[in-house]
């Protein structure tokens, strides 16, 4: 009698196993209605190596790992694990084969504790009951292994993004997998947390675990990887050593060379701001956004700044400095106790998103999937979210006008999709971000707030977003950009505001904004570049922001 727990397999034909090979994928093809996601992908993983899977958003990386985790089944090709061809019909099959996956989007239950999430569905039992004492002790050991100070008793909803990521890693380690797939694990981590993660990965590699590592941060490849497989347009187009120069990796990814990683076109540099699809214009000096004395007790205090038309103002700082909290208050999403916000000289009513939107403020949030999109709605519906009320007359929506406007902006932004009817959930991260930005462009936004605008986006899509920022400011808009990617802030900002412990610690013009100067303000250390800075506060337990 067959074992009901046995992983489904094809005819029992065992391959001659190459030295140290854990996993092999041959000629994998996968199609969805109107889309060829994978078209003949080859990949292999050896014991004790970090094999980087590299490609643009939409290249097919996520589809490939979902096949290994059992979410999708291939239309053609084969998957070989331990020398034997297998069919993976679900997550349990994948786990029994020794494959664990850490997804870019968290797969945790908010109302359960950390320990309950780590061992969800696999709780240790004693006399038929869940052994909570053992479960929490095992969870504590795993959390200590990943170097995160989190109580096993804590509710997941109480944790910040970085700690949620480390809980996901602890959960994967609890499976004792021989193959570990990590999809953008460093996207939300600080430099210190990335160093801890890399130390964990290196220990796992020494223990013989094979690691599939997906990242958009090219500098991580040489630091951690052994080999790189590049996927472009659903095909594997190259397998190269991890020491391959970054410009060659970019060329393999996007099929062309990218000359400037941060192509900011600043007023006064002698370079034209351009006459892109969103219009053209000369540099402006009008303060479109003015924030005065914004205070929320215990969160941020006496925050004042302005953003002028045609300008990009970057906001840098350490994790927990209050950057996101301030811009959410400016947008009206969160309350504040004192201060005021003005747009084009007119004061906004506090804690009123509709008032902010009518005044011309748009917010592209840090969590684009949770807060910026309706994932099960179409591209057209998402693009029309902000303008829906204005397109409604007598209870009827001008669907034709909305559709035409959505088609125009989608083409303008180069959204890669099967059509406007496609669910936005199925788009790549870069194209989802274009949709989030596109809905504000349709609303003729004067002040666009970008919170982590390129998180989880490949280098090619990043440059497209940066060019879009150039076109917005050329058309006279003002951009306020928060980013934990310090080189991005320095490369794309005309001025940099540095926050520390809920206050503006200083302001630096582009010419004086260096990583050292920003970090000195972020940790409260005086430097010659920051003598004119506003009040600074000391910080303890400093975590350096991520620099790429």
- Nearest C-alpha neighbor of 366 from the set 337, 413, 331, 340: 331
Average pLDDT for the chain? 84
> Is the separation of the CB atoms in 500 and 539 below 8 Å?
yes
- Per-residue pLDDT tens over the stretch 457-481: 777 788 888 988 998 999 999 999 9
Predicted confidence (pLDDT) per residue in 117-174, tens digit: 999 988 899 888 989 999 999 999 999 887 788 999 999 988 877 788 788 888 888 8
Q: Give all domains of the chain, ordered by start, each with its CATH number.
A: 9-254 (3.40.50.300), 262-360+445-548 (3.40.50.300), 370-444 (no CATH)
- Reading the block at residue 263, the tokens are 């192509």
| Residue 485: closest CA among 245, 194, 57, 163 | 194
Distance CA 177, CA 81 (A): 13
Distance CA 519, CA 539 (A): 12
d(CA 124, CA 141): 15
How far, in Å, are 415, 448, 511 from residue 255 at the CA level? 18, 31, 33
- Per residue in 199-225, pLDDT (tens digit) is 889 988 998 999 999 998 888 999 999
> Under a CB-based contact definition with an 8 Å cutoff, are residues 469 and 500 in contact?
no
Contact between 173 and 147 under an 8 Å Cβ cutoff? The reply is no
What are the E-state strand segments in 55-98? 76-81, 84-86
- CA distances (Å), 249 to each of 224, 234, 258, 546, in order? 15, 16, 11, 21
Summarised one tens digit per residue, pLDDT across range 373-384 is: 999 999 999 999
% of the chain at pLDDT higher than 70? 88
The SS3 assignment for 79 reads strand
């Amino acid at each position: 009698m067959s074992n009901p727990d046995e992983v489904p397999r094809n005819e029992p034909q065992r391959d001659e196993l190459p030295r140290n090979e854990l996993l092999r994928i041959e000629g994998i093809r996968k199609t969805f209605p109107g889309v060829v996601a994978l078209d003949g992908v080859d990949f292999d993983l050896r014991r004790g190596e970090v094999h980087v899977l590299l490609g643009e958003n939409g290249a097919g990386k996520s589809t490939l790992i979902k096949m290994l985790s059992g979410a999708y089944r291939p239309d053609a090709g084969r998957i070989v694990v331990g020398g034997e061809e297998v069919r993976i019909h679900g997550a349990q099959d994948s786990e029994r084969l020794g494959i664990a996956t850490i997804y870019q989007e968290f797969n945790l239950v908010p109302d359960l504790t950390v320990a309950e999430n780590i061992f969800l569905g696999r709780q240790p039992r004693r006399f038929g009951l869940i052994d909570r004492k053992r479960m929490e002790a095992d969870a504590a050991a795993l959390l200590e292994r990943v170097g995160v100070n989190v109580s096993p008793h804590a509710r997941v909803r109480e944790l910040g993004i970085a700690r949620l990521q480390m809980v996901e890693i602890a959960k994967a380690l609890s499976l004792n997998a021989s193959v570990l797939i990590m999809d953008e694990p460093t996207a939300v981590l600080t430099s210190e947390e990335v160093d801890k993660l890399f130390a964990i990965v290196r220990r796992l590699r020494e223990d013989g675990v094979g690691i599939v590592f997906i990242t958009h941060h090219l500098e991580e490849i040489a630091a951690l990887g052994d080999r790189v497989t590049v996927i472009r347009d659903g095909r594997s187009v190259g397998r190269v050593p991890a020491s391959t120069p970054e410009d060659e990796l970019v060329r393999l990814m996007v099929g062309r060379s990218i000359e400037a990683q941060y192509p900011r076109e600043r007023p006064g540099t002698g370079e034209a701001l351009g006459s892109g699809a969103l219009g053209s214009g000369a540099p402006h000096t009008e303060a479109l956004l003015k924030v005065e004395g914004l205070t929320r007790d215990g969160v941020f205090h006496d925050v004042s700044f302005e953003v002028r038309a045609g300008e990009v103002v970057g906001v840098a700082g350490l994790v927990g400095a209050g950057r996101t909290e301030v811009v959410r208050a400016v947008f009206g999403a969160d309350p504040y106790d004192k201060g005021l916000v003005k747009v084009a000289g007119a004061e906004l009513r506090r804690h009123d998103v509709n008032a902010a939107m009518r005044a011309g403020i748009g917010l592209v949030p840090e969590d684009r999937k949770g807060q910026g999109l309706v994932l099960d709605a179409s591209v057209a519906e998402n693009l029309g979210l902000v303008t829906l009320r204005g397109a409604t007359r007598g209870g009827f929506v001008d669907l034709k006008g909305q559709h035409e406007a959505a088609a125009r902006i989608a083409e303008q932004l180069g959204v890669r999709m099967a059509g406007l009817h496609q669910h936005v959930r199925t788009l790549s991260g870069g194209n989802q971000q274009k949709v989030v930005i596109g809905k504000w462009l349709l609303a003729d936004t004067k002040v666009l707030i970008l919170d982590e605008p390129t998180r989880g986006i490949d280098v090619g899509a990043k440059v497209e977003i940066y060019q879009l920022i150039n076109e917005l400011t050329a058309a006279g808009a003002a951009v306020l950009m928060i980013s934990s990617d310090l080189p991005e802030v320095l490369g794309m900002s005309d001025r940099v505001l540095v926050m520390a412990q809920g206050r503006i610690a200083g302001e630096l013009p582009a010419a004086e904004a260096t990583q050292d100067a920003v970090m000195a303000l972020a940790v409260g250390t005086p430097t010659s570049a920051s003598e004119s800075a506003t009040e600074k506060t000391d910080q303890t337990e400093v975590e350096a922001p991520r620099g790429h």
